[in-house]
Chains A and B, each alone.
Chain A
Amino acid sequence: MNGHRINVNRQDFATAIFLILLGIAGFVASSALPVGTAMRMGGGYVPRLLSFLLLGFGGILIVQSLFGNGERVQKTVLRPLVFVLVVPLIFAALIDTLGLPLTVLFCILAAGLASSETRRWEILAVGAGLAVLTYVLFVTALGLPMQFGPEFG
């Protein structure tokens, strides 16, 4: 006979929390919109309906997760996660002020920090190379309007 072990399924639990938070966010974001009726829906009808459904699903999933099979969760290795995600952020922050080649260089260097396999001079060379390559490809060849260098003011 089974002893009652509460084996929390961490993944489902986290998912459920996410759903609930998103449901609340959706509700707040659409709160100012007119809801209307099912026959004549306003702009807020569908978002609010979806938010409720998300809350509902989240609730069900939380309960289920408490009685689920807790799988062994892999440890989170922070370094790749942080440094990969930071690259687009750095790009967004720098692109309009520093222009394309410099931004690419900084981004590549940051990206390199994500992996322990990165070699210092190699990544610098890759960064420089890509800075040139992306500019030539996207701006010169394709004619996309992107800055070359730093522009202040």
Chain B
Amino acid sequence: MKTWTKLAWAAGLAAGLMPAIASAKSDWPTKPVQIIVPYAPGGTSDTLGRIAAQGLTEKLGQQFNVENRPGAAGTVGSSTVAASKPDGYSLVVSGVGSHAISPAINATVDFDPLNDFRHIVVFGGPPSVLVVNPSLGVKTLAEFVELLKTTDEPVSYASPGAGSQGHLVGEYFKTLAGVEMEHIPYRGAGATIADIMSGVIQVGSVTLSSAAPQIEAGNFVPLAVTSAERVQAFPDIPTFAESGYPDLVATTWFGLSGPKDLPDDIALKINETVTEYLQTDAIKAKLEQDSITFKPMTLDEATGFFKEEIDRWGPVAKGSGAQIQ
């Protein structure tokens, strides 16, 4: 008799508490949420993080604050969020650099990019572009490959950093085209662009957004972009895919992620809100400026995308020589 009473009490208590627990979850957010951008302010990830924060703040009625926490190519900020409580109050702007490339080549990265996170949204990102200084004398990708194969003089190409998307694209291209180029790593896009402009180095593999002003001004000759389709802002630049390298489709993409075990309903809410926001005309136009095309994805598709990219770039990164002991 006593046992049954106890059970009844327990059941009653549980039933009574259920609404409280359930509503606690679906009441999220009840206080400001922190979105960590693991890079210095001013970059693409920062811009995307702030756009997302703005949309979420407007639609969900709570403050979503961006906090810049740069370090180790985005891994310090990501690591912090991976270790934080999965209560929906700390999120991170993840990306190909911090989640696909760095974990593959940097042994001090202490998180599993796929399983330590709940991946919520994929923003997309700018594609890379292969540009040359006009003094090189080539106008198309085919001419460039021809030049590389027949010239005696060694050619070098610049990228904004060892392990950057530009670097990996460059290496991948070399393998696919069967050509040789010396990789000259820089730190950041600024110096890279400056040196290509001045002709110190004649080839560059950089993000389209960083090269755009110079392409428009005629200082660079763009050979090909790595997006799946031609970019709206630059309809004259062919893609690698259509130039005979269908495998070379890549973007420096970013996304929004939370710690693993983030409750499904919170993740869903974020996904739906951000997806809707990024498809409004005003925001679409802003993204276009950076040559970003947003493709809506469900939660599962987002996770799948992350997995694909991690599996894909890992080996390329390792093989590129951006290695550590």
Contacts and interface: CB of A to CB of B under 8 A. Distances in A.
B325 A145 contact: no
A33 B324 CA distance: 9
A143 interface: yes
Contacts of B325: 32-33
Interface in A67-87: none
A145 B325 CA distance: 36
Interface in B60-78: 65, 67
A32 B108 CA distance: 15
A33 B65 CA distance: 40
A143 B65 CA distance: 10
Contacts of A145: 34, 65, 67
B232 to A, nearest CB: 37
Size category, B interface: under 10
Contacts of A32: 325
A85 B34 CA distance: 33
Among A32, A143, A145, which residue has the most Cβ atoms of chain B within 10 A?
Answer: A145
Contacts of B65: 143, 145
A32 B34 CA distance: 39
Contacts of A33: 325
B69 to A, nearest CB: 10
Contacts of B34: 145
Contacts of A143: 65
Interface in B278-325: 325
A80 to B, nearest CB: 34
B185 to A, nearest CB: 12
A32 B67 CA distance: 35
Interface string B30-74: 000010000000000000000000000000000001010000000
A32 B65 CA distance: 41
Interface in A114-145: 143, 145
Interface in B242-281: none
B261 to A, nearest CB: 16
A33 B323 CA distance: 11
Contacts of B67: 145
Interface in B1-51: 34
Nearest to A32: B325
B120 to A, nearest CB: 21
A40 to B, nearest CB: 10
A33 B325 CA distance: 8
A121 B67 CA distance: 38
Nearest to B90: A145
Nearest to A153: B85
Interface string A28-67: 0000110000000000000000000000000000000000
A6 to B, nearest CB: 47
Nearest to B32: A145
A143 B67 CA distance: 10
A143 B34 CA distance: 12
A33 B34 CA distance: 38
B35 to A, nearest CB: 11
A5 to B, nearest CB: 52
B46 to A, nearest CB: 16
A32 B107 CA distance: 14
Nearest to A144: B67
Interface of B: 34, 65, 67, 325
Interface of A: 32-33, 143, 145
Closest 3 interchain pairs by CB?
Answer: A32-B325, A145-B67, A145-B34
